[in-house]
Structure 1
């Protein structure tokens, strides 16, 4: 699931295994096969460059970033300071505003724009002359994905704080792609594939059919439909619908296998449900939402047997939940919000809080229609939430879920909130609004 960068805290609670560098490499026996496809790859690259690839890229720079003081008091009202069109962040594959370092990202289908939080003015803008098909924020930058002849797979990272070019990659990517991040890697997943990229955009893992299968086992892999996926520093969790399975199957994978095209499975479980979402994975656990037979949250735990060839044994623990009547309609792809102690997830009608270590539920709040933001600088508590409700935003106590105040906002329902640079930034329809807090004067 996609996380809010303005509110995320470093995952100090996890002890990550040493990161291996293996990625996208071939053995000697692959050389002949590589030679056979080399001409086609070169031709495709030339066509891409000439017909709308990076040769037509424009990276324009605007004004300086302007940020306000942190919000340290409870707002009594909000006023719209700026608005900007952003249909890309309104899609089900993104679902709300993104932040990259000190800037707010907005996206049309032609360009990505970094904006100053206080004013909404352009800090930089990047366009390619080809459609923007996916957008995420990671490593302090904007992960922009463009639709080229090979599909939604031409990627450029633009640094958020200055609009500088970062690494890039191109790869075949059939169908629409969702880009998510939760740890050291970024996941790109589509109808049948899940890829993991590290910070230099080198692929570290591929689950699903390879675009250029070089080994017999790669060509013969079962093709499954990818429903949802997320990752942390060590582990990728994937929910899929596979031929022969009576329900969705969840699988743990090593995020950095020895060979990127050879997934290393660390445990699998048949869910008994036909609709669901992956909310979180840690080194040894996963938190799932499953819609059938009754809506519920499930914590899975897998244990590795070092030095053993036996498959990792997965034990399952089912947790009680507050029924989410409208949860199924909101799936998949709802962003999760992380702090060092809690996780927050919204099903379209209810907000749920979970313990960040155990993944156990802590509380739920009804009538919350979108993903909240974190008021981490509010005096007296680091856990106040600004949550979308009908008619505006509610200020919630992050420790209990109780509402302290309603802040009216006119217009359609808000779907996601981020707090950055002294501003509350929200997605409302196809538009991103910058809301400035107000306080009563006594």
Structure 2
């Protein structure tokens, strides 16, 4: 039977209407279950960035106080805000007044972490570093939702999803940020594109790509390489493993080396039961070891020891710092970077490690230094194959000073380091820590609060992060 044109048009309209209803229903379901609907974000106009502080205050009193989740902490940003974690929300406050500025709330997803690598405030669109406040939320058992926010406005900048393990932490260094999990590490460049995944990969795309049997307890990142401290089955000693930050771009890389499958630059047996990472450059890594005595050991990119400096850091503090925390949580060594100096806190000791250019002589590996188990080349004497020492310029590391009795991370103001200590803040010279001198104390009334205190300077305000409270002083 042939349908009339009018009837065909009526049936076509009914079919089209049915399709439209199905599309609308699917769209409604997607929206109702989407991250967009579950996200409540409040942004503000861009304000004035405070000037960098240049002088240590002589007196301080509390101006404001807000709560934060102690498991998440808080971020004091040079853009003039302090970002706290409260439930599922990251909330920013004006560092000078304590007034609420912006918020970002994934209402159905608990916060895993907030962090930032910002040391200046050129704007989040400036390339070369991971800029902004990073908020990591938990979804489906992973700390997978990674959002980079503009500290000045709260606007979303970049976003990615990764299989980040719970119990991990953010790390920043060079032009990278990353997540240190108990058995899995990822690094991301400034637009949050992944450059390497290392460890117990959940879905390895190639055979023999995973690195299993080891627990990661520390990580430190530089432009070309990053290091991890690992405790592996069958070994009593802490290992330090050096990897390229971007394996695809590594020189002389194997053809099958990429983001997921890669050969470490070096695997180092520290000979110590515990180790913490306190400095890194493109040529060196500085490792604080507990055995046979506390010392900072410097290794080159081949894993060879090139220097060892005993330090006044209790061995028990190093061992305690190298353990997983409650709930098998792993954390990088707390540190702040100012110019060429990295200030790390281990236990109640502050350790300053400085980067400097140095000229060194090295002897390249040759057949003269082959293992004794390898037979010599017939007719060739070892003396004939020995290579001439090579002079090269490297970015080296040196131990500057240590200072005991600190409560947490310091603030750096000009050429002074403001140490959080019992009863207040103690300024010392950034260059040498004022050895043998008792610094003048700037009293701070902490109202009986005990525990760790991290300090930061944001414009004219000194910010103290005290566990579950963040306090503005001026």
Q: Report SS of the residue matched to 2:61.
A: strand
**For 1:182-201, what per-residue CA distance to the aligned partner results, in whole angstroms no more than 9, with x for missing partners?**
11011101110011011121
C-alpha separation in 1, matches of 2:173 and 2:92: 21
Instruction: Check 1:240–1:50 CA distance in 2 against 1; reply closer, same or farther (3 A cut).
Output: farther
Q: Report SS of the residue matched to 2:147.
A: strand
1:407 equivalent in structure 2: 442
1:417 equivalent in structure 2: 455
TM-score normalised according to structure 1 size: 0.78
> 2:403 aligned with 1:365, yes or no?
yes
Query: Is the 2:146–2:161 contact (alpha carbons within 8 Å) kept by the matching residues of 1?
Result: yes
Instruction: Check 1:52–1:226 CA distance in 2 against 1; reply closer, same or farther (3 A cut).
Output: farther
192-201 or 261-270, larger mean C-alpha shift: 261-270
The counterpart of 1:81, out of the listed 63, 69, 76, is 63
The counterpart of 1:254, out of the listed 244, 268, 285, is 244
Structure number with greater Rg is: 2
* Count of aligned residue pairs for this structure pair: 371
Structure with the bigger RCO (C-alpha within 8 Å, sep 6+) is: 1
Query: Is the 1:97–1:417 contact (alpha carbons within 8 Å) kept by the matching residues of 2?
Result: no
Q: Report SS of the residue matched to 1:356.
A: strand
The counterpart of 1:137, out of the listed 116, 119, 131, is 116
> 2:324 aligned with 1:346, yes or no?
no
416-425 or 325-334, larger mean C-alpha shift: 325-334
Q: Cα distance, 1:96 vs. partner?
A: 5.5
Instruction: Check 1:316–1:81 CA distance in 2 against 1; reply closer, same or farther (3 A cut).
Output: same
> 2:174 aligned with 1:183, yes or no?
yes
Q: Cα distance, 1:49 vs. partner?
A: 7.8
> 2:88 aligned with 1:110, yes or no?
yes
Gapped regions of structure 1 (runs ≥ 5): 1-45, 303-311, 377-382, 437-442
Query: Is the 1:150–1:172 contact (alpha carbons within 8 Å) kept by the matching residues of 2?
Result: no
C-alpha separation in 2, matches of 1:70 and 1:313: 39
1:52-131 equivalence runs, <5 A: 53-61=35-43, 65=47, 71-87=53-69, 90-91=70-71, 97-99=75-77, 101-129=79-107, 130-131=109-110
Instruction: Check 1:251–1:68 CA distance in 2 against 1; reply closer, same or farther (3 A cut).
Output: closer
C-alpha separation in 1, matches of 2:283 and 2:111: 35
1:302-313 equivalence runs, <5 A: 302=301, 312=302
TM-score normalised according to structure 2 size: 0.73
Query: Is the 1:182–1:231 contact (alpha carbons within 8 Å) kept by the matching residues of 2?
Result: yes
C-alpha separation in 2, matches of 1:133 and 1:241: 24
1:386 equivalent in structure 2: 418
Instruction: Check 1:156–1:367 CA distance in 2 against 1; reply closer, same or farther (3 A cut).
Output: same
293-302 or 198-207, larger mean C-alpha shift: 293-302
Q: Report SS of the residue matched to 1:216.
A: coil
C-alpha separation in 2, matches of 1:83 and 1:315: 47
C-alpha separation in 1, matches of 2:205 and 2:316: 44
Gapped regions of structure 2 (runs ≥ 5): 1-27, 118-129, 249-257, 323-330, 357-395
C-alpha separation in 2, matches of 1:363 and 1:387: 14
**For 1:243-296, what per-residue CA distance to the aligned partner results, in whole angstroms no more than 9, with x for missing partners?**
232311101100001211013411121012222221222101111122233322
C-alpha separation in 1, matches of 2:55 and 2:457: 14
Q: Cα distance, 1:171 vs. partner?
A: 2.2
C-alpha separation in 2, matches of 1:246 and 1:198: 34
Q: Report SS of the residue matched to 1:55.
A: helix
Instruction: Check 1:71–1:261 CA distance in 2 against 1; reply closer, same or farther (3 A cut).
Output: closer
The counterpart of 1:153, out of the listed 144, 147, 150, is 144
> 2:267 aligned with 1:277, yes or no?
no
